[in-house]
Amino acid sequence: MITVRDCLESDLGAVAELEAGNILEPWSLKVLNDWLKLDRVTMVIAELDGEIVGYGSYEKVLDEAQVGNICVSNRARRVGIASMIMTTLEIRARDLGCRVMLLEAAVGNVAALGLYEKLGYATLNIRKKYYKNRVDAKIMQKQL
């Protein structure tokens, strides 16, 4: 069974492992800890039969929600977990008064771009050399 719930400090070790193995510019455990403590941050994790297999977060800035990293373990992909995480984040953001969700993804990240397009995100612009000073990013948004 898949469940999505609030992320606890005790979940961050598993989150850091997923982050390190899957994200272009991974956040350390310390950065994740600092992030989770911020009042303006909402972070959720997804569990598959009790095991953490994904997470996602956003930061509320006035009436905008800026998505942080989202990731799903290799072994649990393509069963809708990232979609569940994003939908949960969108509902939370809307309930807190956000009117738009913003995010970025590397131009070659077919999976992430496929996910965001399927969920109704539209491209705003391209930021050159956004990741590691060499990989371009697509900036995308969705009205909530």
Ligand X SMILES: CC(C)(COP(=O)(O)OP(=O)(O)OC[C@H]1O[C@@H](n2cnc3c(N)ncnc32)[C@H](O)[C@@H]1OP(=O)(O)O)[C@@H](O)C(=O)NCCC(=O)NCCS
Q: How far is the CB of 7 from ligand X (least distance, A)?
A: 16
Under the binding rule (CB under 6 A), the answer on residue 98 touching ligand X is no
Q: What phi and psi, each to the nearest 5 degrees, are found at residue 107? A: -60, -25
Residue selected from 82, 98, 101, 102 as contacting ligand X according to rule CB under 6 A: 82
The distance from CA 31 to its chain's CA centroid, rounded to whole angstroms, is 15
Instruction: Give the interface segment with ligand X, choosing from 8-16, 26-34, 63-71, 124-132 (CB under 6 A).
Output: 63-71
Q: How far is the CB of 118 from ligand X (least distance, A)?
A: 4
Instruction: Give the interface segment with ligand X, choosing from 9-17, 57-65, 73-81, 120-128 (CB under 6 A).
Output: 73-81
Instruction: Give the interface segment with ligand X, choosing from 58-66, 74-82, 91-99, 123-131 (CB under 6 A).
Output: 74-82
What secondary structure does DSSP assign to 33-52, as a single string? Answer: HHHHH-TTEEEEEEEETTEE
Residues 107-126, mask of contacts with ligand X (x by CB under 6 A): --xxxx-xx--x--------
Find out whether 81 and 54 touch, Cβ atoms under 8 Å: yes
Shorter beta-carbon distance to ligand X: residue 42 or 73: 73
Query: Which amino acid is residue 74, in one-letter code?
Result: N
Under the binding rule (CB under 6 A), the answer on residue 79 touching ligand X is yes
Query: Which amino acid is residue 117, in one-letter code?
Result: E
**Long-range contact pairs involving 22-26 (C-beta distance under 8 Å, separation at least 24):** 22/71, 22/73, 22/74, 23/69, 23/71, 24/106, 24/131, 24/132, 24/135, 25/131, 25/132
Q: Which residues bind ligand X (CB under 6 A)?
A: 22-23, 69-72, 77-83, 105, 109-112, 114-115, 118
